[in-house]
A = this chain, B = another copy of it.
Amino acid sequence: MNIFTIKKSSGKKRRGEIQTAHGTVETPNLMIVATQGTIKAVSALDLCEWGSEFIIANTYHLYLRPGLEILQEAGGLHKFMNWNKTIFTDSGGFQVFSLSKLRKFKDDGIIFQSHIDGSYHKFTPENNVQMQRAIGGDVMMVLDECMEFPVTHAYAKHSVARTLKWAERSRSEFLKSSSLYGYSQSQFGIIQGSTFSDLRRMCAEELAGMDFEGYAMGGVAIGESKEYIRRVIDMADDMMPKEKCRYLMGVGEEDDVRYAVENGFDIFDCVIPTRNARNGALFTRNGRMLIKNAKYKKDFSPVEEGCECHLCKNYSRAYLHHLFKAGEMLGGILASEHNINYYMRLMKEIREGI
């Protein structure tokens, strides 16, 4: 079943809609990250009010804490965190790669040590699908092997072969199982291959044959330069199925998002809006504002003139500067609201520009 419809296109750019059991997501769009089943410093109800249509949670984190048994007893993540719109869940392959103290890739799965208590766990393509069934997101991602950057072509080729085998097993497990909560779920494949276009192409073609509901470019924005990120973006339109939703994972810098939309991507996810906010970096039409900078000490204007968020309508730069200098939680809370609203507005403008 295709959950994605293109409403309008212009060159490689596409304006479309993702339809899930929990609503419609207009694209291009960016998911706010809710790794542990919460948007950092933000209530799900507030995020909903600000117009966000989807979030992404993480299987690695939720499996370890609170654990799948609790999510199942709650009736799935939507109910547990009181978010009634669309949820994507990442498989956690990237988090095993980036957070776990110890990890061992075997052909049948990954053995890893929890970053919380050091306990040992194993993800296989099959149990990972079942975990994402228990979480109950509307769209799940396949388990893949993430590579560092840079890697040799030989290593990447070997890794892509494993990722493809796992994708096939994931798809098979997905197709023979069903949702636990009475609504349908979808599954996206992930294209790997580092910056090697022959491997990315081969991976994309093989995955296309498995007929996923959507496709993602993975293993991007993991520390490589913008030039390399764009090299992968450049490959996408040509190798990813046109009629399916195209997801660029982990990318969220405004210029990269704009560039990727120009090149045919539909959706994104990134920690930047919320993480930067907590560090005092605010996005505005006039560029990034580092609010801890001394020049804002006596600046009684709003962070961004014309912005309709709670911060900009009610508080000054000087007050926000004070909150950050004084280590007050309210600083991160207000800044998160602003940055999320900035991205909501940005994506709306990008959509309306197509």
Contact = CB atoms under 8 A, between A and B. Distances in A.
Interface of A: 36-45, 61, 65-66, 69-70, 73-74, 80-82, 297-298, 300, 310, 314-316, 318-319, 321-323, 325-326, 328-330, 332-334
Contact of A330 (B42, B70, B74): B42
B323 A38 contact: yes
A310 B82 CA distance: 12
Given A41-B330, A333-B333, A298 B73 contact: yes
A314 B319 CA distance: 30
B65 A322 contact: yes
- The DSSP consensus for interface residues of chain A is helix
Contacts of A330: 38-43
Given A43-B310, A43-B333, A300 B38 contact: no
Contacts of A326: 36-38, 61, 65-66
A317 B253 CA distance: 36
Given A42-B330, A66-B326, 17 more contacts: A36-B322, A36-B328, A37-B319, A37-B326, A38-B330, A41-B329, A41-B333, A45-B314, A65-B325, A66-B297, A66-B321, A66-B325, A69-B298, A73-B298, A73-B300, A73-B318, A81-B315
Given A43-B310, A65-B325, A80 B38 contact: no
Contacts of A298: 69-70, 73
A74 B318 CA distance: 9
Q: Which of A300, A315, A322 has the most CB of B within 10 A?
A: A322
A332 B332 CA distance: 13
A314 B43 contact: yes
Nearest to A45: B314
Q: Which of A66, A80, A298 has the most CB of B within 10 A?
A: A66
Contact of A328 (B38, B322, B323, B325): B38
A314 B73 contact: no
Contacts of A38: 323, 326, 328, 330
Contacts of A82: 314-315, 319
Contact of A319 (B81, B322, B329, B332): B81
